[in-house]
Amino acid sequence: MATIAGLYHVEHWQYRAEGNANLVLCYAGPDPRFATTVLRLRKTDRAVDRREEDSGSTLISQQLNVAPVISKHDVSKESVFASKVIGLLLGEEFVEQLIAIALPPEFLVSLAASIEPLRPQSRLHKVIDCTQRVGFLALDHTQFIQRDPKEPSVAVEIKPKWGFLSKSTFILKEHGIKKRKCRFCMYQHHKLKAGQELSLSEYCPIDLFSTSQHLVQDSLDALVQTPQNNFRLFVNGEQQTVSREAIAQVIVGSDVESVQQNTTAPQRTHSTSLIEVLARVLSESPLLKRLGRLQQALDSLDVETIHRFYDQLADPVTTGLPEPTLEEFINTAEAFLDRTDLDAMMDEDQETFEAHNEASIGFGPEDNLEEVPDSLKMHFIREFLLSATLKDCSILITIRRAGQAEIRPSMAIQPAIRTDKSDVEFREIVHGVEVNGECYQYKITCIDLDPKKIVSVPMYMKKDRAIVDHYLAVVGDRERSCGSH
């Protein structure tokens, strides 16, 4: 594992953001090698008595003392999973580069203590896992490698979730609502009941994934209106509160300082809004379409059949299945690509894509599923896990105004970082787009591409049931289908 001299200064790392599983810090020190990089660290359950909680180093040291020496999460292969497995499917250019680095425990302990007061209340049930020996250095995708002091970079993070309505013939008739309402829209009602959200989101992923520019634009407006955990805004790497006003002010290249200070200073008027530029980028880039089609094609059997396979294969004593290895995931992706023409898949209309997809499975719901060979059952469970990764990733789109000459695609390379093992360098591909006669540079990257666990399959099944049952109980089958306008 690489050790990088000069990286382990706690005071040089600032809290950036966190999800359920990882916490991310951005570099704010003087070393130019780490400018525009972030550090991604795994979290673990807070395993100490809450009465003793002091949100400081005692707490973290307790964790360090009680936890086993080897972290229960072996994350060392996760960077390879993202680049090799997801890279095969999505295209390597869209997958964020992660560099695995060694983590001294004292560094983690001090880091955890220093950022604790900055963390949101809702995430405090977990802490940085101070037993992890490996973390990841990545590019800060809210900014460009080459900063332009005159043109601020505006970044939007979208967690698009499930971009398809399942047409799987394996879905039981009584669960047919899944063919009309998307999982995100149905899940909103469950989240409301559970107190996870206070109001329903106006966003529907089916519109975002539609590739129709006006629907994409409408769904971006909906995300701004109800961002939940699906939309974040950054200006020069600083996270901003999402609001219509902030978005209107962040007309790319407008008076950014006033947005950062959240003032309502008079805006410079531009004909083009950030939403328009984003809609163009999302409709133009193949990423979103590829993501949606892959999510659907890799989930051809739906969790209902996947769970049946899981039950048929699971060891009755341990009631589990071994987690797939990296090699097994690679083989699964390769076998999927053998039966799928990725280029054709991108060009086909929805109906043809679904028909091809169904035909390529090799068996149907009318067949005796007990007779499907075990190896094939395992294969489809792993495909389903790949789909789960793609259903939970986020997309970062970073934009800045540019001159006409700068909108040709180009690659920027960060100065090499010398580790004790080798030199590593980060790269980014910068594209250009012209909207309403104004030129912009952008990059688009997928983050959070961790492998999902096979042990979660029964939980996925339970969640599916809970979401559908609750939706049918409170709404029924009376709303218009998602995607029908």
Ligand X SMILES: Nc1ncnc2c1ncn2[C@@H]1O[C@H](COP(=O)(O)OP(=O)(O)OP(=O)(O)O)[C@@H](O)[C@H]1O
Ligand Y SMILES: O=P(O)(O)O[C@@H]1[C@@H](OP(=O)(O)O)[C@H](OP(=O)(O)O)[C@H](O)[C@H](OP(=O)(O)O)[C@H]1OP(=O)(O)O
What residues make contact with ligand X under the rule CB under 6 A?
16-22, 24, 38, 40, 96, 138-142, 157, 232, 392, 394, 447-448
Residue 19 touches ligand Y, criterion: CB under 6 A: yes
Nearest approach, Cβ of 41 to ligand X (angstroms)?
10
Binding residue for ligand Y, selected from 3, 5, 20, 54, defined by CB under 6 A: 20
Least distance between ligand X and beta carbon 140 (Å): 5
**Nearer to ligand X by C-beta: 139 or 182?**
139
Residue 452 interacts with, from ligand Y, ligand X, none (CB under 5-8 Å by kind) = ligand Y
Shortest Å distance, C-beta 414 to ligand X: 13
Residues 227-286 that bind ligand Y (CB under 6 A): 229
- Least spacing, CB of residue 5 vs ligand Y, in Å: 32
Least distance in angstroms from the C-beta of 7 to ligand Y: 26
Return the HEC string of the chain: CECCCCCCCHHHEEEEEECCCEEEEEECCCCHHHCCEEEEEEEEECCCCHHHCCCCHHHHHHHHHHCCCCCCCCCCCHHHHHHHHHHHHHCHHHECCEEEEECCHHHHHHHHHHHHHHCCHHHCCEEECCCCCEEEEEECCCCCCCCCCCCCCEEEEECCCCCCCCCCCCCCHHHHHHHCCCHHHHHHHHHHHCCCCCCCCCCCHHHHCCCCHHHHHHHHHHHHHCCCCCEEEEECCEEECCCHHHHHHCCCCCCHHHHHCCCCCCCCCCCCCHHHHHHHHHHHCCHHHHHHHHHHHCCCCHHHHHHHHHHHHCCCCCCCCCCCCHHHHHHHHHHHHHCCCHHHHHHCCHHHHHHHHHHCCCCCCCCCHHHCCHHHHHHHHHHHHHHHHHHCCEEEEEEEECCHHHCCCEEEECCCEECCCCEECCEEEEEEEEECCEEEEEEEEEECCCCCCHHHHHHHHHHHHHHHHHHHHHCCCCCCCCCCC
Which of 25, 75, 155, 388 binds ligand Y (CB under 6 A)? It is 388
Q: Taking the complex as a whole, how short is the minimal distance between the CB of residue 21 and ligand Y, in angstroms? A: 4
**Which listed option, ligand Y, ligand X, none, makes contact with residue 18 (CB within 5 to 8 Å by class)?**
ligand X
400 binds, among ligand Y, ligand X, none (CB under 5 to 8 A by kind): none
Q: Which does 141 bind (CB under 5 to 8 A by kind): ligand Y, ligand X, none?
A: ligand X
Q: Which residue is nearest to ligand Y (CB)?
A: 20
**In angstroms, what is the minimal distance from the CB of 393 to ligand X?**
8
Asked if 452 is part of the footprint of ligand Y (rule: CB under 6 A), the reply reads: yes
Query: Which among 15-23, 323-331, 342-350, 418-426 is the span making contact with ligand Y, rule CB under 6 A?
Result: 15-23
Query: With respect to ligand X, which residue has the nearer C-beta, 82 or 109?
Result: 82
Identify what 240 binds: ligand Y, ligand X, none; CB under 5 to 8 Å per kind: none
Check binding of 199 to ligand Y (CB under 6 A). Answer: no
For position 432 contacting ligand Y by CB under 6 A, the verdict is: no
Q: Which does 388 bind (CB under 5 to 8 A by kind): ligand Y, ligand X, none?
A: ligand Y
> What residue ranges bind ligand Y (CB under 6 A)?
19-21, 229, 388, 392, 452, 456, 463
